[in-house]
Amino acid sequence: MESTPKLIKLLFFISVLWVSSLAHETPLFPKKSHPTNSGYLPISSTTSSAMFFAFYEAQKPDFNLSQTPLLVWLQGGPGCSSLLANFFELGPWRLNPKQIGSNNTDLEPNPGAWNRKFGLLFLDNPIGAGFSIASSPAEIPRNQYTVAKHLIAALTSFISSNPLYKSRPLYITGESYAGKYVPALGYYILQQGSDLNLKGVAIGNGLTHPVTQVATHAASAYYSGLINEKQRTQLEEIQAQAVKLTQEGKWKQATDARNRILHYLENSTGLATLYDFRRKVAYETEIIGNFLNKEQVKKALGVHKSMVWVECSEVVGDALHEDVMKSVMFMVEELVKKSKVLLYQGQFDLRDGVVSVEAWVKEMNWEGLESFLMAERKVWQVDGKLAGYVQKWGSLSQVVVSGAGHLVPADQAVNSGAMIEDWVLEKGLFQDEIKSISTSNVRVFR
């Protein structure tokens, strides 16, 4: 009988420890890491289709909120979710693969968050991507006009939700296949005389003028030491097929030919990923799905628990299959005349990298092109260390980001944050040419 009180005491002690551990357990999605606002934006009054958004207000704005720049981020794919960038690249909180399975939260503050000084709006675009809702597959866009139409409707709804948003300078940003979304949205904002206060667009490792870009893979891989002369010749033959099909307007076949080029590169190089030819393993983005499909995360974001998040929607990809090889370079030509344009590339991207982008830039119809091509390419430093190279003339800037692949902010968080801040605010190497004569190329990120 004497052992009974001891057993009760032991059970009580264990229960206290258990309750205490629960009280101190770090939640999966802490309140401090939640967006300022998130949910759904309508794309039309005649449909239940809606675009998911997550908005983060500026952490340390330099201006009153009514004048604080607003960045919009669009992911590529086609069909990939912008929440990939949110939690893996440039949002204020990022998932750390090394923390998965530990007792700590999977989220860590991002030292290079793009909302340090600016508002940051992530949109799951097109409808059907990420947490966005397409009421039927027929409503998913098949071209950039419809993509832009939906985005303008969603943006207009977001801006009208708060009087402070209306006057804020607007910058459209994105990467990869958003090299088409970003120019399309900016172009149609200008064409329609929208009230949206567009000031510029930024494209990271973008697919913008495919007929030229598709012809650069062989040379890029060859001069990187990844294929030999024989393989280069074979790859150039497939590239020529893709170019010919594009010029003939055979869009499905042209896209298929481009896919054969990428598959050839994957098979012949044996790389873990074409997105960064240094990597021994691909970007570990599967952690995003593990996180976003948790019921408590969906609830916090305003998403119904029945929704299933996938990184890239095959349905959306199929819908835009014939759009892949169509060019939007003419849209960039309009934007560089009426706003400002930033093109940035990670140094080690083998899909839509430096060579690919520089090839189509040389074909632009813009009165400032010759001056841009002759402009000095300057060494760019952040905190006294090499960050990359900047070439600028007038309204066009190109940045090569050192130590980065396709997902630049994931690879170089602080440097990408410094880049976007200086470009928007026209500081450092992004100042007007006259102002920048006496300016150092060293940027201190505070």
How do beta strands 170-175 and 70-74 pair?
A: parallel
Among 381, 329, 377, CA closest to 357: 329
Catalytic-role residue among 132, 406, 411, 416: 406
Active site residue 33: no
In 3D space, the residue among 271, 290, 155 whose CA is nearest the CA of residue 224 turns out to be 271
β-pair partners for 443: 382
Concatenating the DSSP letter of every residue in 77-125 gives TTTB-THHHIIIIISSEEE-GGGTTSSS-SEEE-TT-TTSSSEEEEE--
Q: How far is the C-alpha of 441 from the C-alpha of 381, rounded, in Å?
A: 6
Q: Which of 435, 278, 294 lies closest to 353 in space, CA to CA?
A: 278
Q: Which residues make Cβ contacts (< 8 Å) with residue 47, sequence separation at least 6?
A: 135, 139
Whole-Å CA distances, 103 to 98, 100, 106, 421, 434: 12, 9, 9, 35, 54
Run of H or E including 364: none
| Residue 321 annotated as catalytic | no
Residues shown for the chain: 446
Among 176, 339, 356, 397, the active-site one is 176
Nearest in space to 418 (alpha carbons), one of 391, 384, 371, 368: 384
Please confirm, yes or no, whether 34 is among the known catalytic residues: no
377-384: Cβ within 8 A, 24+ apart: 378/429, 378/441, 379/441, 380/419, 380/428, 380/429, 380/441, 380/443, 381/441, 381/442, 381/443, 382/414, 382/415, 382/418, 382/442, 382/443, 382/444, 382/445, 383/414, 383/443, 383/444, 383/445, 384/442, 384/444
Report d(CA 134, CA 213) in Å as an integer: 31
* Catalytic-labelled residue, pool 124, 323, 349, 422: 349
CA angle 178, 181, 186 (to 5 degrees): 125
What gap in Å lies between CA 7 and CA 393, rounded to an integer? Answer: 79
Residue type (1 letter), 183: P
Distance between CA atoms of 439 and 132, rounded to whole angstroms? 44
User: Strand 198-204 relative to strand 170-175: parallel, antiparallel, unpaired?
Assistant: parallel
Question: Collapsing DSSP states into helix, strand and coil, what is residue 280?
Answer: coil
Instruction: State the catalytic residues.
Output: 176, 349, 406
